[in-house]
Amino acid sequence: MAKKNAFYAQSGGVTAVINASACGVLETAREHRGQIGKVLAGRNGIIGALREDLIDTGKESRAAIRGLLTTPSGAFGSCRHKLKSLEDNRAEYERLIEVFQAHNIGYFFYNGGGDSADTCLKVSRLSESMGYPIQAIHVPKTIDNDLAETDNCPGFGSVAKYVAISTREAAMDVASMCETSTKVFILEVMGRHAGWIAAAAGLAAEEDGDAPHIILFPEISFSRDRFIARVKRTVRKHGYCVIVASEGTQYADGTFLSEAGTRDAFGHAQLGGLAPALAEMVSTELGYKYHWAVADYLQRSARHIASQTDVDQAYALGKAAVEMALAGKNAVMPCIVRGSGKRYRWSVGEAPLEQVANREKKMPRNFITRDGFGITPEAREYLSPLVVGEAYPPYRNGLPQYTRLKNISVPRKLRRRFTVS
Amino acid sequence: MAKKNAFYAQSGGVTAVINASACGVLETAREHRGQIGKVLAGRNGIIGALREDLIDTGKESRAAIRGLLTTPSGAFGSCRHKLKSLEDNRAEYERLIEVFQAHNIGYFFYNGGGDSADTCLKVSRLSESMGYPIQAIHVPKTIDNDLAETDNCPGFGSVAKYVAISTREAAMDVASMCETSTKVFILEVMGRHAGWIAAAAGLAAEEDGDAPHIILFPEISFSRDRFIARVKRTVRKHGYCVIVASEGTQYADGTFLSEAGTRDAFGHAQLGGLAPALAEMVSTELGYKYHWAVADYLQRSARHIASQTDVDQAYALGKAAVEMALAGKNAVMPCIVRGSGKRYRWSVGEAPLEQVANREKKMPRNFITRDGFGITPEAREYLSPLVVGEAYPPYRNGLPQYTRLKNISVPRKLRRRFTVS
């Protein structure tokens, strides 16, 4: 088999550990120089391939590649670009083949979520559909934890850890002040379609009465009356109430609370978001003093408190992807398989991409309590091992030292430019 | 000198390290059992003294007291209650003396900010004003870093560290996605009257072009035009723009941006806050995709990433307070004194409370760049050592194990109840 180069790209929203997967891909590829030549990374994801904007990862030192293990965000840039079907945008596929051919690319490693799995699947079929021989392997990544076939998704464990810790800490703050000050605290977290991240906040509670007292999931229709009644009851019982709300919290008719807000004097929709909307309800109905926080990107970039389990898994899946390629695999995704014993164990399995692309793993209903405001022991059992271990980055002068790659461009070989639409 | 008991209370907004000061007070007092009997803590601050709601810290194990060193929030509860002057509320002072007398209290340790220093000063004068012999020592604490006489305030270094790290992490996230997604990110931080906390975000930048690109300080009048122009220029130059804004950002006429927002259909002021208000400006004027985060309590309770320097200083000041009491001092506050050398060194000094109470230390104008959007090398030199060192708490099952005290009440000795107004 002639030696081929590999293409690697990061796709979609970045995470605290997607670079750990990159590290796994790059270090493993370097161990097999006999079979894999260079690894060329797409600058800003698949767009980099379409634009022939490639990064020569071979120019990075061994230490820099290792540094990716402790560096958040996407070191090569990421993008949100889903390839259309071959029928709808044949030009994009022809361009990909043009670029791959020019750079002798025979391996395609795509590091992303559900949409990216679909793109990866389409690329994996280029051999049959367009006669270009390529092996495409998907490396899973998403804080949303909604990929099928894998027990959990790299990126999620670290967000889960961050949200659980932040909930515990802020709750202690509120508890110590509630006698004369803030009684209600609302933390808005990510999760447009599924409540995995909000559920993780439930890990903060260890004893009866511990925060969070209310979790709002996208899966459970929001009722203002039930919410207010629960807040009131909680404050009466415990003196304060901590609420963790998924950004996707919605009414029974599917309207997001974050969009159901009021309008300004010019009729513009209020940009306040979910947390302030909930705070206003509490204030109007109960008059309690409140505070709210919106974690936003802080939660998915918080490499300073990443889960060691998450980092280990992210690396392992990057490594496994290369090994699968070397074993001649195509259209597959390495995934996390949970052992059956009582003690948490995991191993790397292999899932066919057809089973992953365009599917969404919902949170099981039995992970949410019957009243819809909390998590069950089943959820706790599933979530708890994913946040275990502290994978601290190195520090200098009190701040984490994250790696900056040189990201040196590969000289272009094609005269034709391509505009990504 | 007859052995006297001590009273300790936490006051005002809590921090990641106020319990480290409590640890310093309690451990040091325990080393001097010959002079100091019990340390009784006020449940929910000074209110606990007025209500005769006292906690017997002697019931806590040595391990639990040590655990305070790594536990955020106020372990005994805090409150916002400023004693009025003797003329305005003599009843409160009489009540304090009644409670102190009943519990043989001769030492008063008050752990708080500027308002609390004033309360502490008033208590220190009870000997002369009301004939009750007591020594009152103030232990400084405030994330706002605005206390006079001390080089910096315990609590600030940890918030500073949290904000600088969060800014760096979120900025890396935005940088990796900006080609096709979010171009402007806004992080709202605390600081109603002074920009110390926002300034600390500036530590995240190490090289030219690094985030944060814009810092908004309460000290600098906000101009919508200048702000928008700077955002536009930054996005053109770097592809993205990260803004860190003090909650106290205000227009030249003193109106807070967070309050200058629009009103809803019922005429209620919008509760959206500063970050969404800035986001709306960016969206309206420039059309860039944006995200925003509000750190709120997360920033002041983030013990998981506390500054070691901050923890050390918080403990040292608690310890010094007890030592000052033993040395017969009254109406003083142990403070941080910065050494003059190039390498950062600090020691504990002593400040008269009269110099601390009701004074506010502003951020020097030369800490802010001339254009008003950044910090100067002077600011960096001042801030940088305060965030050094990582004082990680212990973890269990992936989450920090914070100490819960038993907080056992001291039996009441007085028949009279007192209602705090």
**Other Cβ atoms closer than 10 A to B70:** 23
CA dist B331 and B107 (Å) reads 11
A177 shares contact with chain B (CB less than 8 Å): yes
Å between B328 CA and nearest CA of chain A: 31
For A302, nearest residue in chain B (alpha carbons): B169
> Coil, strand, or helix at residue A338?
strand
Mean pLDDT of A168-194: 96
Chain B residues in contact with A265 (beta carbon < 8 A): 262-263
| DSSP H or E segment with residue A36 | strand A36-42
Whether residue A2 has pLDDT greater than 90: no
Instruction: Say whether B170 and A398 touch across the interface (CB within 8 A).
Output: no
**Other Cβ atoms closer than 10 A to A33:** 11
Å between B176 CA and nearest CA of chain A: 4
Q: For A124-160, b where at least 16 C-beta lie within 10 A, e where not — what string?
A: bbbeeeeebebbbbbbbbbbbbbbbbbbbbbbbbbbb
B293 shares contact with chain A (CB less than 8 Å): yes
pLDDT bucket at A273, cuts 50 / 70 / 90: confident
Structure tokens at B5: 């008991």
Q: What is the DSSP string of A171-229?
A: HHHHHHHTTTS--EEEEEE--SS--HHHHHHGGG--STTPSP-EEE-TTS---HHHHHH
Structure tokens at B284: 């309206």
User: What number does CATH give the domain A5-141+306-358+392-400?
Assistant: 3.40.50.450
A241 shares contact with chain B (CB less than 8 Å): no
Residues composing chain A? 421
CA dist B160 and B389 (Å) reads 12
The reply to whether B208 belongs to the active site is: no
pLDDT bucket at A266, cuts 50 / 70 / 90: very low
B260 shares contact with chain A (CB less than 8 Å): no
Is A305:A20 a contact under the CB 8 Å cutoff? no
Instruction: Say whether B270 and A275 touch across the interface (CB within 8 A).
Output: no
Is B137:B182 a contact under the CB 8 Å cutoff? no
Predicted confidence at residue A260, as pLDDT, reads 58
Per-10-residue mean pLDDT of chain B, 421 residues long, equals 91 97 98 97 97 98 98 97 89 95 98 94 92 97 97 98 98 96 97 95 96 97 98 98 96 87 46 83 95 97 98 98 98 97 96 94 95 98 98 98 98 93 75
Residues composing chain B? 421
**Other Cβ atoms closer than 10 A to A381:** 12
> Angle formed by the axes of helices A308-326 and A18-31, to 10°?
40
List CB contacts of B404: < 8 A, sequence separation 6 or more. none
Do the domains at B4-142+306-358+392-400 and B156-301 have one common CATH topology? yes
A259 shares contact with chain B (CB less than 8 Å): no
Q: What is the DSSP string of B294-341?
A: E-THHHHH-GGG-BHHHHHHHHHHHHHHHHHHHTT--SEEEEEEE-SS
Chain B residues in contact with A76 (beta carbon < 8 A): 176
Is B338:B151 a contact under the CB 8 Å cutoff? yes
User: What number does CATH give the domain B4-142+306-358+392-400?
Assistant: 3.40.50.450
> Coil, strand, or helix at residue A351?
strand
Residue A355 assigned to a binding site: no
**Other Cβ atoms closer than 10 A to A411:** 8
**Other Cβ atoms closer than 10 A to A58:** 16
For A309, nearest residue in chain B (alpha carbons): B398
At CB < 8 A and 24+ separation, what contacts does A99-104 make? A99/A49, A99/A50, A99/A52, A99/A54, A99/A414, A100/A7, A100/A49, A100/A132, A100/A134, A101/A132, A102/A52, A102/A413, A102/A414, A103/A5, A103/A7, A103/A40, A103/A54, A103/A410, A103/A413, A104/A4, A104/A5, A104/A37
Q: For residue A21, give the nearest of A30, A8, A33 by alpha carbon.
A: A8
As a whole number of Å, the CA-based R_g of chain B is: 23
φ, ψ for residue B107, nearest 5 deg: -125, 135
Whether residue A264 has pLDDT greater than 90: no
Predicted confidence at residue A263, as pLDDT, reads 46
For A205, nearest residue in chain B (alpha carbons): B399
Predicted confidence at residue B412, as pLDDT, reads 97
User: What number does CATH give the domain A156-304+368-387?
Assistant: 3.40.50.460
Chain A residues in contact with B72 (beta carbon < 8 A): 169, 172-173
Q: For residue A177, give the nearest of B277, B72, B119 by alpha carbon.
A: B72
Q: Class of the B156-301 domain?
A: alpha beta
Instruction: Say whether B276 and A279 touch across the interface (CB within 8 A).
Output: no
**Other Cβ atoms closer than 10 A to B360:** 12
A75 shares contact with chain B (CB less than 8 Å): yes
DSSP symbol at A387: G
> Coil, strand, or helix at residue A94?
helix
Instruction: Say whether A294 and B280 touch across the interface (CB within 8 A).
Output: no
| DSSP H or E segment with residue A285 | helix A274-286
Is B397:A344 a contact under the CB 8 Å cutoff? no
CA atoms within 13 A on the CB side of B247: 17
Mutation for A interface: B169, B207, B387, B395, most A CBs within 10 A:
B169
The label of the residue with tokens 């936003």 reads A296
The label of the residue with tokens 């315990």 reads B154
Instruction: Say whether A203 and B399 touch across the interface (CB within 8 A).
Output: yes
**Other Cβ atoms closer than 10 A to B251:** 13
Instruction: Say whether A47 and B180 touch across the interface (CB within 8 A).
Output: yes
**Other Cβ atoms closer than 10 A to B395:** 16
DSSP symbol at B385: G
Single out the catalytic residue among B56, B88, B115, B144.
B144
Structure tokens at A43: 């600058």
The label of the residue with tokens 């969009």 reads A259
Closest CB to A176 among B78, B176, B275: B78
- Sequence letter at residue B374: G
Is B143:B156 a contact under the CB 8 Å cutoff? yes
> Angle formed by the axes of helices A308-326 and A156-177, to 10°?
170
B210 shares contact with chain A (CB less than 8 Å): no
Instruction: Say whether A300 and B264 touch across the interface (CB within 8 A).
Output: no
State pLDDT tens for residues A293-334. Answer: 999 999 999 999 999 999 999 999 999 999 999 999 999 999
Single out the catalytic residue among A144, A146, A151, A310.
A144
Predicted confidence at residue A82, as pLDDT, reads 87
> Coil, strand, or helix at residue A78?
coil
| DSSP H or E segment with residue A400 | strand A399-400
Checking ipTM against 0.95, whether it exceeds it is: yes
CA dist B243 and B256 (Å) reads 17
Mutation for B interface: A141, A399, A406, most B CBs within 10 A:
A399
A401 shares contact with chain B (CB less than 8 Å): no
Å between B107 CA and nearest CA of chain A: 23
Predicted confidence at residue A374, as pLDDT, reads 98
Identify each DSSP E strand in B43-116 by its residue range: 54-56, 105-112
CA dist B119 and B102 (Å) reads 21
Q: Where are the domains of chain A?
A: 5-141+306-358+392-400, 156-304+368-387
| DSSP H or E segment with residue B19 | helix B18-30
Our measurement of the distance from residue A106's CA atom to the centroid of its chain's CA atoms, rounded to an integer in Å, reads 27
Residue A195 assigned to a binding site: no
φ, ψ for residue A271, nearest 5 deg: -95, 10
B204 shares contact with chain A (CB less than 8 Å): yes
Predicted confidence at residue B82, as pLDDT, reads 86
Interface of B with A in 35-74 (CB under 8 A): 44-45, 47, 71-74
State pLDDT tens for residues A52-105. Answer: 999 999 999 999 999 999 999 999 999 988 888 888 999 999 999 999 999 999
Q: For A268-283, b where at least 16 C-beta lie within 10 A, e where not — what string?
A: eebbbbbbbbbbbbbb
CA dist B108 and A236 (Å) reads 32
Our measurement of the distance from residue B209's CA atom to the centroid of its chain's CA atoms, rounded to an integer in Å, reads 30
Chain A residues in contact with B384 (beta carbon < 8 A): 397-398
Residue A247 assigned to a binding site: yes
Predicted confidence at residue A261, as pLDDT, reads 52
Q: For A217-229, b where at least 16 C-beta lie within 10 A, e where not — what string?
A: bbbbebeeeebbe
